Amino acid sequence: MGFFIWCSFFPQISNAASGASPDTHGEEPPVVTIIKSDHMLAENIENKIHFSGHVHLVKGHLKLTADTLDVFFVPPGKGGTLMENMQGKSGTQKVQTMVARGHVVILKDLRQAFAGKAVYIESSHLFVLTELPVVIENGDRISGERITFFTRINKSLVQGHGLMLLNGKGTKKKSDVSSPGKREP
């Protein structure tokens, strides 16, 4: 039995439904996040939702799969809880962080990331990958103890014993280069 949730964590969703334009103060408009999983548990007091079993997340061009995903929301004001805040005026809640565990795979445009654990920090638009992280782009592969995978720019930061394996596409082998007047055997 599968479970599907359309996470309307962002103000734009409720504004779009009402016909109002979102107030983004010059920032990029928020993107709808869709999460599918076998199970879901909302922890009201902790302002957290736990997804488990075949977790699939889609947020714009970003896709993530994992065994489990914990979504932590910005704490509500005035002692409110997650459910009280979601029943409020906007019916939405802003994500603070997400923690994916177990066979984590992230796809973003031409980049792929693999790790045992990935922590997404919403305010910085980045993942911190640990537990044997690897990032592959255009066939080039990087690994290290910890990789920061930026989602808005095409950049990754490797920390601790990094290794980079270049694919070699586009480079010419010696046998591919010919000199004028000289023929290779």
* pLDDT at position 45: 82
d(CA 166, CA 45): 47
**pLDDT value, residue 28:** 62
Please report where in the chains the tokens 């994500």 appear, as a residue: 95
pLDDT of residue 173: 38
Cβ neighbors of 121 (< 8 A, separation 6 or more) are: 97, 127, 128
Structural domains of the chain in order of their starting residue, each with its CATH number: 3-169 (2.60.450.10)
Residue 167: its pLDDT value, please? Answer: 76
| pLDDT by 10-residue block (mean), the chain, 185 residues | 46 33 54 93 91 97 98 76 57 85 97 98 96 93 95 92 74 37 41
Predicted model pTM: 0.71
